[in-house]
Amino acid sequence: MTDSKCHDLTASDSGAKIWHVSHATTRSEPERTALVDQRSEVGVCSTRLSLTGDTVEAGVDTLRLLYETRNFGERTFEMPAEGWKFGAIPSLGLTWAEGHPAPGALANAAQVQASAAAVRELVDDHFGVVADRGVARSDQTVTTEFSRPEEARAFLTGMAAIQLPRCETTRRGHPVHSISWSNAKGARKLARCYDKGLERGGEAFKFGRMEDQRRYPSGARPYDEA
C-alpha cells in the first residue's frame, strides 16, 4: 500500500505547479512482515520499511529567454553558445534563446544569471536588443539518488498514481519508468518524473528526476534575476 505525500499540488489557468513533493512511503502488506536474519537465519522484524533518497542536484535544466530586437535571424538558427539554440518571431518583434544554463548539469541561481547575461550580450551584438521580455520557460528540476532499485521503483509507481487537476497523465514502461503530465486541452507537457539513469543509458532505477516545466504568459514573465 502506498502512502504518497505531495505538497503544493495545484493548477492554474496557465499551467500546473506540482512540486514540492516528499518521497512516498511504501508499506508492506501485511503491516507486520517476517524477515530472515541472514547472519543467524532466524529472527523476526516488524519494522516498516520506508523510502530513503538523497537529493544529488537541484536547479534549472532548461531556460527560454525573449528579447525585443531591431533585427532578426531565421526562424531557427545557431550561434556560438554551447547548449543553446535561437530563433526569431518577426511578427512579434522578438528573438528567443532556449538552452541549458549549465550544460550537462542543473544550474544554480548564479549560473543562470551568468549564462543569461552571456546570451543577451550575444543577441545584442548580432541583432540589437531593444528590451528584455523576460523568461518564457524555466524547468525547475530535482534529481534524487536511491540506494536500492526497489526504492526507485516504488517512488516512480507512487508518482504515476498522482492525478493533477485538468491534466492528462502519460505513463511509460512496466514497471513504470517515466510519467508526464500534459494540459488536457493540448499536448504541451507541464511536468515530468522519470528515471534519469535509464534516460542517460546508464543504471536503471538509481536516479529519479522531477521537472516542473513552467511556461510564463505575456505580462507575467519574470526576469532571470528572479
User: Can you give the pLDDT at residue 44?
Assistant: 41
Is the pLDDT at 223 greater than 90? The verdict is: no
**Per residue in 133-160, pLDDT tens?**
999 999 999 999 999 999 999 999 999 9
How many percent of the chain have pLDDT more than 90? 63
The ranges assigned to domains in the chain are 2-28+147-215, 60-138
pTM of the predicted protein model: 0.70
DSSP string, the chain: -EEEEESS-EEETTEEE---EEEEEE--SSSS-----TTTS-----PPP---EEEEEEEEEEEEEEEEESS---SEE--S-TTEEEEEEGGGTEEEEEE-SSTTS-B-HHHHHHHHHHHHHHHHHHH-EEEEEEEEEEEEEEEEEESSHHHHHHHHHHHHT---TTEEEEEETTTT-EEEEEETTSS-EEEEEEEHHHHTTS-SSSEEEEEEEEE--TT-PPPTT-
> For the chain, what is the mean pLDDT?
81
Confidence of residue 31 (pLDDT cuts 50, 70, 90): very low
Question: Residue range 55-59: average pLDDT?
Answer: 93
